[in-house]
Structure 1
Amino acid sequence: MKKIVTLFLFVFALAFNTQSLNAQNTIEMNAAASEKAKEIKKNIKINNLQLEEVYQAYKEFEEAYSKISNNLDKNQKRLEKINTVLDNKLKEIMTEEQFERYLQLYRTY
């Protein structure tokens, strides 16, 4: 009986720890997206509505990037795809001039 209780407590603690790690990763991704959006606002002069949309685009980027970041060498095509998706979203959000400035500052092909 003691073994069953101990096993149950171990599984419960492990499950709780996993939830904590997932929450921490989400917080880190949101912070990274927020930082990038604020940097773009400063450098490209986007308005507050655009800022929120840029934040959401970077939040989605961070979520996708976190799934492949452990092995970028094997996921090069996926990285290119998520970068392209991000660029397309930002192109929709920004004016043509803002997007050109974004490309100059953040994308060097």
Structure 2
Amino acid sequence: MKKIITFCFFAFALVIGTQNVVAQNKLEINKEANEKAYELRKQLKFSDDVLEETYQAYKGKALKKYSLAKHHGVDTPAYKKNMATLEADFKAKMESILTEEQYSRFVILNESK
């Protein structure tokens, strides 16, 4: 009986630890998306509505990137193919969010990094 209780406690501790790791990754992703959106806002000078949409675009990209890395590994052909598609989708989303002039500057800023 004592072994069963110990095992249950150990399993419960693992579940709690896993949830903390996932939550920490999401917090890091949100923080990174927030920083990138505000940095872009400094460069392109856009409104709060555009800032929110930009934040959501960066957050979505980061979440998908994390998911791809977790499922495929980083150096696999499937990861590289999916990352190319993800990057194209992200650029299309940013093009729909930003004005033509802002998007041109966004592309220049992205290429310089």
TM-score bucket (shorter structure): over 0.9
Q: Which residue of 1 aligns with 2:102?
A: 98
Q: Are the counterparts in 2 of residues 38 and 51 from structure 1 also a CA contact under 8 Å? A: yes
The residue type paired with residue 9 of structure 1 is F
Q: Which residue of 1 aligns with 2:43?
A: 43
Aligned pairs (5 A) from 1:1-109? 1-69=1-69, 71-74=73-76, 75-107=79-111
| Identity over aligned pairs, percent | 38
TM-score, normalized by length of structure 2?
A: 0.90
Q: Which moved more, 1:68-77 or 1:21-30?
A: 68-77
| Residue 47 of structure 1: how far off its partner (Å) | 1.2
Query: What number of residue pairs does the alignment pair up?
Result: 108
CA-atom RMSD, angstroms?
A: 1.2
Q: Are the counterparts in 2 of residues 72 and 79 from structure 1 also a CA contact under 8 Å? A: no
TM-score, normalized by length of structure 1?
A: 0.94
The residue type paired with residue 43 of structure 1 is Q
SS at the partner of 1:107?
A: helix
SS at the partner of 2:86?
A: helix
The residue type paired with residue 97 of structure 1 is E
Q: Mind listing any 5+ residue stretches in structure 1 that lack a counterpart? A: none
